[in-house]
Amino acid sequence: MSIASGEPQLQRRPIMSSGRAPQPVRVINQGTLAPSSGKIERSKHPLIPEVRDARTRLSQTASVQPKFEFELLQLLVRNELQALPTVPLLAVIFALASMFWAPMAHAALWLCSVIIAKLYVVHVCRSFENQQRSKTSIELWRRHLIGAEFLSGLSWAGLALVGVSVADASGQVFILVSLVVYIAMRMTFASSVLTIFYVGTVPMTIAVVERLILQNHPFYYAMASMAAGLHVYFIIMAQRLNTTALSMLAFRAEKDALIAELEEEKSISDNARAQAEAANIAKSRFLATMSHELRTPLNAILGFSEVMHTELMGPLNNPNYKDYAGSIHDSGTHLLNLINEILDLSRIEAGKYELVEEPVQLADIIDDCWRLLKLRADGKSQTVTFAIQALAPAVRADARATRQICLNLVSNALKFTPRGGQVVISVISEPDGSQVLAVKDNGPGIPPSEIHKVLQPFGQGSLAQQTAEGGTGLGLPIVKGLIELHGGTFELSSELRKGTTAAVRFPISRVIHAAPVASSNRQQPTVAAKVTAATAFDRPKAMATRTRPAPSEALAAIEPRERRQARALVAADAPPLLRRRVTDAA
């Protein structure tokens, strides 16, 4: 019986047979991978319901059990060969015991016939075992095994003729006990094929019953009926053992079919996952290598639109053109920022983002980011409070990556916090030596079910989409990727309609425990070490006391080498027509 039905897709596994030739179990391919399109096509007829139906049929009654004839013959042959010493040893014991009440010649002759018959049975079993299954004729070997077993049964029936002329009650009882022992032994070894069990035991039962009846005594009549009844009982037991063997083979076949299906599905899923990973890597590599091709035309657009908007080459006759140029410049800037975020994320995923490590003070990074984002906070009347631990040690990190982390976290907090809200930016040294940069807001928050979503590229929370200014959904994935490149962790916790806290943790291996690195002459935010978010929220619009030098003073405070590097970086990212202006200013 075929456990799984349907159209075969990949393979056939012959695990059972019936009749003259083995019947293969056909394994359904639930999904095949199309090499041209890379898509997975699912079968219209899944295997699971069919396997469930097969399991139900196999577990109900014996009438629906398949005849695994080849496997049953294999089980019989295996039992015969494994019990090879048992039958001759039992025959020797019976022959020696019968010598006490029967002539020795009778016992010796019977023992020789049993051993010869057993040798023939072993020869047939070994011949069957050495045959290849594909070349095996089930019916032919069944006849051979039945003939050999019938010959063995006749030899054992000869025990009833040993001492037949001796009228001894102990001899009759011994013959009956020998019959019971022999039938029990054959039931154990030959119950997998009931026909062989019948032909091997019926001759001896008939011979023993006939010998007892010939004694012409009621006592022996009772013993004869007892022998017949015991044989019937052992036949019933053999049938139950046969049913158990059939069920075992059926469930083994079902298990093989399920294992084959699981292996096939695993292979399909592995191929699909490998293709998806290859496509993702190819996408990331493509975007990582397209930086120059994407930025060059945008730089030209930004440069020329800025020249037109500022009327650097002369006034424009139509004032609308100036507005158009400003709109082009704003749109190009937005597109350039989006492309930069996509490229940064692609480089991180492709493993091409290289860190330039140096000692970095997180307070200086926050100060730089605040200068860029102050106007946005002022435009929404938001309160920003700094809680920076005094004398916090520097960390060994990439300054540009750390600045981008801070910018993304603070800009997200300002973006998703409503007008008049509060934002707290803190730097804390943990007891384990790590250093944490955290940004807390009282915005709409993120539902717990969407935390995983917002950490995926282009993912945004449902409430944020309704209340925020809009965004690409790349900020947090970039933060997560950059901090993981530093060996740190990114933690995002949120409570619905109460706010969100985003924190990046630099591990202790990144913290420089020596004297703090000498920073620029810019003063750091001056905040008590124990300032908390609750304190900031209790004082609406209260800003931490800090001194912000003018841009020219800040630029003069930078050492000449750092100033040249900063100007070179600005010149590299600036539009082509504006690079001369940056160089001339240097």
Contacts of 130 (CB under 8 A, 6+ apart): none
Q: Evaluate if residue 570 carries a pLDDT over 70.
A: no
User: Confidence class of residue 49 from pLDDT cuts 50, 70 and 90?
Assistant: low
Q: Which residues of 345-369 are buried (b: 16+ CB within 10 A; e: fewer)?
A: bbbbbbeebeeeeebbbbbbbbbbb
- Across 38-58, average pLDDT: 47
* Pick from 128, 112, 121, 186: nearest CA to 148: 121
| 440 DSSP β-pair partners | 424, 501
Q: For residues 58 and 71, what is the distance between their CA atoms, to the nearest angstrom? A: 16
| pLDDT at residue 345 in the model | 77
Question: What region does 505 belong to: left with phi over 0, alpha with psi -120 to 50, or beta?
Answer: beta
Residue 586 clears pLDDT 60, i.e. is over it: no
Separation between Cα atoms, residue 477 and residue 408, nearest integer Å: 10
CATH architecture, domain defined by 354-548: 2-Layer Sandwich (3.30)
Is residue 58 within 8 Å of 254, Cβ to Cβ?
A: yes
Per the prediction, the chain carries an average pLDDT of 75
Poorest-confidence range of 40-54, 170-184, 294-308, 374-388? 40-54
- Residue 150 pLDDT grade (very low, low, confident, very high; cuts 50, 70, 90): very high
Mean pLDDT of 412-424: 91
404 has pLDDT over 70: yes
Lowest mean pLDDT among 22-36, 427-441, 475-489: 22-36
Task: Give the containing element (helix H, strand E) for 426.
Answer: strand 422-429
Mean pLDDT of 463-481: 73
Among residues 145, 149, 147, the alpha carbon closest in space to that of 200 is found at 149
Lowest mean pLDDT among 14-28, 200-214, 408-422: 14-28
Domain extents for the chain? 69-257, 302-349, 354-548, 549-586
Count CB atoms within 10 A of the CB of residue 518: 10
Name every residue whose Cβ is closer than 8 Å to that of residue 521 and which is 6 or more positions away in sequence: 549, 557
Rounded CA Rg of the chain: 45
Cα–Cα distance, 122 to 143 (Å, whole number): 15
Over residues 405-420, mean pLDDT:
90
Torsion of CA 492, 425, 458, 447, to 10 degrees: 40
pLDDT band at 39 (very low <50, low <70, confident <90, very high): very low
Listed in sequence order, the residues at least 6 apart from 334 whose beta carbon sits closer than 8 Å to its beta carbon are: none
